């Protein structure tokens, strides 16, 4: 009898582990899919890719250090900012259009974008993480900034050619902490940016397209596999802010790190081919 109880307990535990496993990796059962939005952009301007800002939208005093972003954007004259999810610290639930606009306006001001500065902000939301839940592309202005809230994935076609797919990254592994552990373990075995590469194949992107994500809070660029991670600006359990961003400037892709005192270091630079 006790033996049977043990067997039942073990079977139950295995079922729970299997359920959590399938829950964490949505692409296995595809119990939901990523929506993909495409934009055709010209490459006469620079673009910044950034993620995991985790702006505390309920706390007006928080996030002052994020103003270095606004300064950098103005100094570099960047007119396109692409945010790969976790822009705000919120919960993944539906909110009214009015509340969404107010929340994003607060976040845009927190990162120090001047009110008179024109910029297009593409905010790609996560599908399960800290971003509010939206079901379709939403467009509105915050001061002089044009904001596009895009749920799921954004493909930026540069000069009519597909070049960048921007996504938060939770679709490949929902739990952010577990994702960072998985990428660390994979890196030990020589497979850097493993989840980025996995997601690229899950989405079915061609080898030429760059996949840019966040989520793991671990920055990196792999030009051979054309995947990159923006890092993070918010501290989380066992994961500290890397204060990094990716700057696309015509023929190059740079991973930059903010060192404080207004200075930035180039951690990585690679050439990209844009026809
Ligand atoms: Mn995050």
> How far, in Å, is the centroid of ligand 1 from the Cα of 136?
22
pLDDT digits (tens, 9 = 90+) for 137-157: 999 999 999 999 999 899 988
List the one residue out of 186, 194, 136 whose CA is nearest residue 169: 194
> How far, in Å, is the centroid of ligand 1 from the Cα of 176?
7
Please tell me whether residues 85 and 113 are part of one structural domain.
yes
Please tell me whether residues 257 and 128 are part of one structural domain.
yes
Please tell me whether residues 71 and 172 are part of one structural domain.
yes
Query: Which range (1-15, 122-136, 211-225, 232-246) has the least confidence?
Result: 232-246
- Whether 136 has a pLDDT exceeding 80, the answer reads yes
Please tell me whether residues 51 and 16 are part of one structural domain.
no
Please tell me whether residues 27 and 38 are part of one structural domain.
no
What pLDDT does residue 165 have? Answer: 94
> How far, in Å, is the centroid of ligand 1 from the Cα of 2?
45
- Whether 274 has a pLDDT exceeding 80, the answer reads no
> How far, in Å, is the centroid of ligand 1 from the Cα of 171?
13
> How far, in Å, is the centroid of ligand 1 from the Cα of 54?
7
What pLDDT does residue 59 have? Answer: 63
Please tell me whether residues 10 and 129 are part of one structural domain.
no
Please tell me whether residues 133 and 160 are part of one structural domain.
yes
> How far, in Å, is the centroid of ligand 1 from the Cα of 86?
5
What pLDDT does residue 44 have? Answer: 59
> How far, in Å, is the centroid of ligand 1 from the Cα of 100?
19
Please tell me whether residues 21 and 105 are part of one structural domain.
no
List the one residue out of 101, 99, 135, 97 whose CA is nearest residue 121: 101
Please tell me whether residues 19 and 140 are part of one structural domain.
no
pLDDT digits (tens, 9 = 90+) for 161-192: 768 999 999 999 999 889 999 999 999 999 99
Please tell me whether residues 18 and 56 are part of one structural domain.
no
- When pLDDT is cut at 50, 70 and 90, the band that residue 75 belongs to is very high
List the one residue out of 213, 210, 247 whose CA is nearest residue 225: 210
> How far, in Å, is the centroid of ligand 1 from the Cα of 146?
23
Average pLDDT over residues 226-236: 91
The pLDDT mean for the chain works out to 90
What pLDDT does residue 60 have? Answer: 55
> How far, in Å, is the centroid of ligand 1 from the Cα of 196?
15
- Residue 22's domain comprises 1-31
> How far, in Å, is the centroid of ligand 1 from the Cα of 243?
13
Counted residue by residue, the chain has a size of 275
Question: Which residues are found with C-beta within 5 Å of the ion, ligand 1?
Answer: 52, 86
What pLDDT does residue 6 have? Answer: 94
Please tell me whether residues 169 and 222 are part of one structural domain.
yes
Q: Percent of the chain scored above 70 by pLDDT?
A: 93
> How far, in Å, is the centroid of ligand 1 from the Cα of 215?
5
> How far, in Å, is the centroid of ligand 1 from the Cα of 44?
30
CATH of the domain at 152: 3.60.21.10
- Which pTM does this prediction carry? 0.92
- Whether 194 has a pLDDT exceeding 80, the answer reads yes
Contact criterion met (CB below 8 Å) for 109 and 67: no
Give the total number of structural domains in the chain. Answer: 2
List the one residue out of 145, 138, 66 whose CA is nearest residue 105: 145
- Whether 239 has a pLDDT exceeding 80, the answer reads no
pLDDT digits (tens, 9 = 90+) for 16-72: 999 999 999 999 999 988 888 887 776 556 899 999 999 987 665 556 789 999 999
> How far, in Å, is the centroid of ligand 1 from the Cα of 216?
7
- When pLDDT is cut at 50, 70 and 90, the band that residue 240 belongs to is confident
Please tell me whether residues 3 and 107 are part of one structural domain.
no
- When pLDDT is cut at 50, 70 and 90, the band that residue 196 belongs to is very high
What pLDDT does residue 51 have? Answer: 96
The radius of gyration of the chain from alpha carbons, rounded to an integer in Å, stands at: 19
């Amino acid at each position: 009898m006790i033996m049977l109880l043990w067997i039942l307990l073990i079977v139950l535990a295995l079922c729970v582990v299997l359920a959590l496993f399938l829950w964490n990796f949505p692409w296995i059962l595809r119990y939901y899919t990523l929506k993909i939005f495409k934009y055709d952009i010209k490459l006469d301007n620079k673009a910044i890719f950034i993620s995991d800002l985790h702006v505390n939208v309920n706390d007006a005093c928080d996030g002052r250090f994020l103003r270095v972003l606004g300064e950098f954007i103005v100094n570099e004259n960047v007119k396109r900012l692409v945010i790969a999810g976790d822009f705000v610290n919120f919960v993944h639930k539906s909110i009214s259009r009015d509340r969404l606009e107010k929340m994003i306006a607060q976040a845009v001001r927190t990162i120090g974008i001047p009110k008179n500065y024109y910029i297009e902000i593409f905010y790609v939301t996560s599908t399960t993480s800290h971003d509010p839940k939206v079901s379709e592309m939403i467009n509105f202005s915050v001061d002089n900034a044009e904001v596009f809230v895009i749920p799921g994935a954004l493909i930026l076609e540069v000069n009519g050619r597909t070049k960048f797919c921007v996504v938060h990254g939770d679709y490949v592994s929902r739990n952010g902490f577990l994702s960072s552990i998985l990428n660390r373990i994979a890196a030990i075995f020589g497979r850097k940016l493993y989840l980025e590469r996995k997601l690229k194949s899950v989405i079915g992107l061609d080898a030429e397209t760059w996949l840019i994500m966040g989520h793991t809070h671990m920055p990196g660029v792999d030009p051979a596999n054309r995947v990159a991670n923006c890092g993070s600006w918010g501290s989380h359990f066992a994961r500290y802010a890397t204060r990094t961003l990716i700057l696309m400037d015509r023929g190059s892709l740079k991973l930059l790190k903010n060192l404080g005192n207004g200075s930035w270091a180039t951690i990585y630079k690679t050439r990209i081919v844009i026809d």
